[in-house]
Amino acid sequence: MSATYDQVGVPFFTPLGRQLVELADPRPGDRVLDVGCGRGACLFPAAERVGPTGEVIGIDLAADMVRETAAEASQRRLRQVRVLEGDAEAPDLPPESHDVVLAGLALFFLPDPAAAVRAYGRLLRPNGRLAVSWLGRDEGGWQRALNEAVVPFLRERPARRPRQDAGSPFRTVERLETLVRSAGFTDVHTSSIPHDLVFADHEQWWAWAWSAAPRPVLEHVAPERLEDARAALRSVMEQFRDPDGRLVLRLVVHYTLAARR
């Protein structure tokens, strides 16, 4: 997905990444780590904030994602940016080497989020800041409606994501904040902000879906049934049109911030 990730359809990760950086508020000269950096949704706004005297390191497990993002950083002439291949759960970096750690829509994909947050605490300098974004509820039940529409066409169901499990810390704000505090952080607080995905038409949504989170589900559709699945999804999405004829999918994004003791 690296070539089209957040590059087609409508911007998704980019505005959410900028929002996370604004809340984390890195300053000129700061050293920032962006875990699970993808195509730079948090990385590039952070680079703007720290300026040429700071440094922003992005790590991602996908080599293609690293290559694409590093090439864009070079094109933008951002000498303060480095992009490395690495594990977001256990970054291989020196202790107390960063002022800010950003985890934009990444933490809930990791097998052990608690271990990851503890690792981030070790990487932060005293009074360093952690900023995590994660997905809350979708308004209007559009995610469930779309999932149910595509189920009849799947060859097999994709594996459940860790954040969907009953014991997941991402089920409520209170659970996630408890996890962060147990890792040694203080001043833990969460801002929950609605975000609208606005599509001009179904074609724009379809292009976006193949470049973002819906793709792993769509890849489980039998190729000969893909057009039928697409028609079913188109029918369901009609209920989310606004008075202007746009397709509007609203979700709530949580931004949890904390400080290292």
Which tens digit of pLDDT belongs to each residue from 219-243?
999 899 999 999 999 999 998 998 9
| Residue 26 confidence (pLDDT) | 98
52 C-beta neighbours (distance < 10 Å), count = 11
| Residue 159 confidence (pLDDT) | 61
- Name beta bridge partners: 130: 101, 258
CA 255 to each of CA 82, 103, 130, 239, 258: distance values in angstroms, whole numbers, following the listed order: 25, 10, 10, 29, 10
| Residue 165 confidence (pLDDT) | 67
Residue 17 neighbours by CB under 8 Å, 6+ apart: 40, 41, 42, 43, 45, 104, 133
Per the CB < 8 A criterion, the answer to whether 113 and 179 are in contact is yes
Domain range summary for the chain, segments of one domain joined by +: 13-260
| Residue 166 confidence (pLDDT) | 66
| Residue 139 confidence (pLDDT) | 83
| Residue 59 confidence (pLDDT) | 98
| Residue 64 confidence (pLDDT) | 95
- Class of the 13-260 domain? alpha beta
Per the CB < 8 A criterion, the answer to whether 58 and 37 are in contact is yes
| Residue 99 confidence (pLDDT) | 98
pTM for the predicted model, two decimal places: 0.90
| Residue 47 confidence (pLDDT) | 98
| Residue 215 confidence (pLDDT) | 86
| Residue 261 confidence (pLDDT) | 82
Residues of the chain with pLDDT under 50: none
Mean predicted lDDT score pLDDT of the chain: 92
72 C-beta neighbours (distance < 10 Å), count = 16
For 64-125, give the DSSP string.
HHHHHHHHHHHHTT-TTEEEEE--TTS----TT-EEEEEEES-GGGSS-HHHHHHHHHHHEE
